[in-house]
Structure 1
Amino acid sequence: MGSWRNKPWLLWAALMVPAAATIAGIGTYTGVLGPEDAPRPSRADLVGRYEDGEGGVVVLRDDWVAELSGIEQYVDDGFGGEVPQPCEDAGAGWTFAESRPRWHHQVAVLTECGSAIPWLWDVDGSPSRPELIYWLGTPGHPDARRVLTRR
């Protein structure tokens, strides 16, 4: 058969393939390689009034205050179960988390409606038509997905 010492190109190939794959993966993740991401909404694009089509309204103001009206949430019914209840909070706070890679931006809403844990809503859409997506109940269930569209 022969020794690998007689074939130095084999050793180089064995080392270069994983190195090239690593560099390509890092380049794709950072956005240097591959197609450019579509423009995503920034914090300034998110300011405005949003409606979910089912009576829920959210107003995100430029001063980091959110006004919530009719946004459903599940609360404890006192018997070990949960019941939907609309949230009314005119003084909730909100922040915007821009992530890298750019396809997972989130808005965190801190409200007095039954939870000390901030609600995390996904940001989708374009800068001119941003959308906020939240889950009522079980995340991933098709009936639990709510989309707030800016009006």
Structure 2
Amino acid sequence: MRWLLVLLGCFIAQAAQAQGFASHDLTGFVDRVRIAIDTKASVQATPLTLTVTCAPCRGSPVADIELGRLNDGTEKRVRSGATTFAKLESLCIQQNPDCRLSALPVSPAIGWITVYGLGNGGGSTAVILRDGDLLMIQAKADSPGHAEDSVRALVQNLAPRIVGP
């Protein structure tokens, strides 16, 4: 009987280590989003999506934040180095020649941010992965720089609380 309890305890410990993000509900982050973007921002949230718009803000950003899952092996390939950030950037450049990609410091998760031209403005996307959980933050603004500023501000204010320790 004791062995069964020990074995069960080991399985529970392993399951606890592979839970992904600390939070799976974006509705509690509305105030943090306003802090990151501007108190004048309009924010709509559901557990898995959050949209923020702010026409009077610098760059007039529109941002979408989504929680989901990505189990296609991307996280494992990036963590192992089989897929490098340079390779990810080259794939992004194939879609948009203006695309630039860099790593995001979101440990224990992994993540990257892309910045690209988009029509008369620009866009930026952050991808953050941990144990198959996915946090994606996308912004469009009047320039690539303003889109990137919005995404970085959102990552800084949200990622530590969503990813967890």
Q: TM-score range by the shorter chain?
A: under 0.3
Structure with higher strand content: 1
Structure with higher helix content: 2
Q: Which has the higher contact order (CA 8 A, sep 6+)?
A: 2
